Structure 1
Amino acid sequence: MREQIETADRRRLLSRLAGDYHVQTARRAATFMSRDIVTDMTILAITRANVRQITASPEPVAYTYEGVAGVPADGLRIPVSVYALAKDLGLPYENIRRRVKKLLDAGVCITVDGGVVIPGATVVRQSNLDLIAETQIATEKFVAEAGRFGVTAAQHYRPPTADLPKQIIRLAMNYFLDATTFTAKGMKVDVVAVLVLRAINMANISHVTHDPALAVTYAGMEEILPHEARQPTSVYSVGRFLHLPYETARRAVIRLEERGLVQRGPKGLFVSPDVVTRPDVLEGMLYLVALTEAYLKDLARVGIAYRPNPGSPG
């Protein structure tokens, strides 16, 4: 698939689609979980660490818990320390320690020898099941849109199993965490600022991202959307979109302005064309493209791929 993207030079197109999917994933997590994105990422990081060894194989997971397919039993979950979580998320230890304590007090996670785990009883709460269902819908839409724009991993397709929703949520959450933490490290900002930056950029270019003609026009590495074609947004709009308190969003925007990643114009906030050609931003974009290519392959292997002629082989 890499050859297909680079031959047609769909890299910026794919990075825009991926960026939109990435920030929408953050919004979904905040909608169905705690409405605090760092707490939500802490929950996801705990869950990932707990089942990393169990779900390392790309083959469907057959474990059951209280009759719900694909939920590994509590005794199989690997505990994780607060220190490891803070390192994984690139956040201060005390920041994560406070959030883990709140999660423990709320019964979202429990303490066992070696650290904390998210028990199966939490995984099967209705809010989490709703998140799983919404993530499957959004992921299928993302795969279909990328396919229509010329990016597909259909050659890796395998028929889905009954465990498909859980397979998708595991892959989606891994993708979300990896895309967020890598970008934060590369741009030397925190994970909240990364999501605010992505939300601003997506607001600036959303009219291009999903328009077939404009998306292809601005598809390649050299096809950068000019300043006058970008649609500015506001701190209030970004905070509301990500379910962030206004003050949290405002402080994140200030940090991004200090790094020269966001500018404030008379009509609002925008990411300028100059920013998207910076070496650190280009590196992040190319990483996102590579991560998305791998993600599309993994999704195809569990049964989600763009197949305009599903009756044909592959």
Structure 2
Amino acid sequence: MSEEIERADRRRLLSRLAGDYHVQTARRVSLAMSRDIVTDMTILAITRANVREVTASPGSIAHTYEGVPGVPADALRIPVSVYAVAKDLGLPYENIRRRVKKLLDAGVCVTIDGGVVVPGATVVRQSNLDLIAETQTATESFVAEAGRFGVSAAAHYQPPTPGLPRQVIRLAMNYFLDATCHGAKVLDLDVVAVLVLRAINMANLSQVTHDPARAVAYGGMDVVPPESERQAVSVYSIGRFLLMPYETARRAVLRLEQRGLVQRGRGGLTLPLEVINRPEVVAGILHLVTLTETFLADLARAGIAYRPSPAPG
């Protein structure tokens, strides 16, 4: 990689790639779990709290659940309160309490000493094992695309261990939760509205995000893709992509319109240029970039990094 490419500003480019990966992760999670993203985020937040101390080390987990490598045994899982989960997600307590009750009734989680735990039996369900495999494939593609555009954490690379797939799913789900919840905090939105907003932006700029020339041309913070590069998208398409009922997506769009974050035209929804340059939106972009750079470095330490082959000769 040339020194010029390494020095080039790629922050908007990386934020677009990250936003695309973010909403694609939301879709994968919903397909694998309950098809209700708030319920799915509740499951992820409980799981993260349960195993946070066990997974604090970047190394492989020595303990296993019923012989499945990389899955912490139930005895090591720390219960978490519904209040703590609601606070983590930035959602009303009653909203999360209702969802946790449904999860308890469905056997997805259990109560222990007054707290909630997602047990190993849930973690090793086939749908979750499929999600682990799909997430690793998608994450490797994301790392490779970012690397081809000049964003790489290869300096942090370490050879992968046998527990790589579970390291990747933990890193990816933590990244997904953090990207969603921080976006909600910065923009003073709920998590559903944040995902809808990012999905609209992804659809608007898909032809820019994945086109090599356009991606680089609009790669820096000082260069914003013009209105002519944006493709409008319908509420129906956004709801369908995120597996949300149309009415849920419609209400989220109304909240975004009331805040002036999206505008509706003849062709559908777009993010206007003035929104992209708002201080809070720029702050959100910069935080997402920092979060993504940390994510890429953590993935490299786990064994996934863009490392182009040296030129022959």
Q: Do the aligned residues in 1 keep the contact of 2:11 with 2:289 (CA within 8 Å)?
A: yes
Distance (whole Å) between structure 2 residues aligned to residue 70 and residue 120 of structure 1: 11
Residue 79 in 1 paired to residue 71 in 2?
no
> Offset of 1:7 from its aligned partner?
2.7
Aligned partner of 2:279 in structure 1 is: 279
Whichever residue aligns with residue 186 of structure 2, its letter is G
Q: TM-score, normalization: structure 2?
A: 0.97
Matches within 5 A, 1:48-63: 48-63=48-63
Distance (whole Å) between structure 2 residues aligned to residue 69 and residue 104 of structure 1: 26
The number of aligned residues is: 309
Q: Do the aligned residues in 1 keep the contact of 2:208 with 2:229 (CA within 8 Å)?
A: no
Question: Structure 1 85/5 Cα, relative in aligned 2: closer, same or farther at 3 Å?
Answer: farther
Aligned partner of 1:15 in structure 2 is: 15
> Taking every aligned residue pair, what percent have the same amino acid on both sides?
76
Distance (whole Å) between structure 2 residues aligned to residue 267 and residue 57 of structure 1: 49
> Offset of 1:251 from its aligned partner?
0.2
> Offset of 1:66 from its aligned partner?
1.3
Question: Structure 1 76/9 Cα, relative in aligned 2: closer, same or farther at 3 Å?
Answer: same
State the Cα RMSD in Å: 1.4
Aligned partner of 2:180 in structure 1 is: 180
Q: Do the aligned residues in 2 keep the contact of 1:232 with 1:270 (CA within 8 Å)?
A: yes
* Partner-residue secondary structure (3-state), 2:273: coil
> Offset of 1:114 from its aligned partner?
3.6
Q: Do the aligned residues in 2 keep the contact of 1:154 with 1:305 (CA within 8 Å)?
A: yes
Q: Deviations over 1:88-137 (max 9, x none)?
A: 00000000000000000000000000400000000000000010000000
Aligned partner of 2:195 in structure 1 is: 195
Whichever residue aligns with residue 70 of structure 1, its letter is G
Gap regions ≥5 residues in structure 2? none
> Offset of 1:201 from its aligned partner?
0.4
Matches within 5 A, 1:80-229: 80-229=80-229
> Offset of 1:6 from its aligned partner?
8.2
Aligned partner of 2:36 in structure 1 is: 36
> Offset of 1:254 from its aligned partner?
0.3
Q: Deviations over 1:189-225 (max 9, x none)?
A: 0000000000000000011101111100110011101
Question: Structure 1 49/248 Cα, relative in aligned 2: closer, same or farther at 3 Å?
Answer: same
> Offset of 1:276 from its aligned partner?
0.7
Distance (whole Å) between structure 2 residues aligned to residue 9 and residue 289 of structure 1: 12
Distance (whole Å) between structure 1 residues aligned to residue 96 and residue 35 of structure 2: 16
Whichever residue aligns with residue 285 of structure 2, its letter is M
Q: Do the aligned residues in 2 keep the contact of 1:299 with 1:305 (CA within 8 Å)?
A: yes
Q: Do the aligned residues in 2 keep the contact of 1:5 with 1:11 (CA within 8 Å)?
A: no
Whichever residue aligns with residue 117 of structure 1, its letter is V
Q: Do the aligned residues in 1 keep the contact of 2:74 with 2:120 (CA within 8 Å)?
A: yes
* Partner-residue secondary structure (3-state), 2:159: coil
Q: Deviations over 1:237-290 (max 9, x none)?
A: 000000000000000000001111111011100011111100000000000000
* Partner-residue secondary structure (3-state), 1:244: coil
Q: TM-score, normalization: structure 1?
A: 0.96
Distance (whole Å) between structure 1 residues aligned to residue 308 and residue 121 of structure 2: 39
Question: Structure 1 5/55 Cα, relative in aligned 2: closer, same or farther at 3 Å?
Answer: farther
Distance (whole Å) between structure 1 residues aligned to residue 64 and residue 73 of structure 2: 7
* Partner-residue secondary structure (3-state), 1:264: strand
Distance (whole Å) between structure 1 residues aligned to residue 68 and residue 59 of structure 2: 18
Q: Do the aligned residues in 2 keep the contact of 1:86 with 1:93 (CA within 8 Å)?
A: yes
Question: Structure 1 111/4 Cα, relative in aligned 2: closer, same or farther at 3 Å?
Answer: farther
Question: Structure 1 62/280 Cα, relative in aligned 2: closer, same or farther at 3 Å?
Answer: same
* Partner-residue secondary structure (3-state), 1:152: coil
Whichever residue aligns with residue 225 of structure 1, its letter is P
Question: Structure 1 284/5 Cα, relative in aligned 2: closer, same or farther at 3 Å?
Answer: farther
Q: Do the aligned residues in 1 keep the contact of 2:6 with 2:150 (CA within 8 Å)?
A: no
Distance (whole Å) between structure 1 residues aligned to residue 15 and residue 6 of structure 2: 13
Aligned partner of 1:249 in structure 2 is: 249
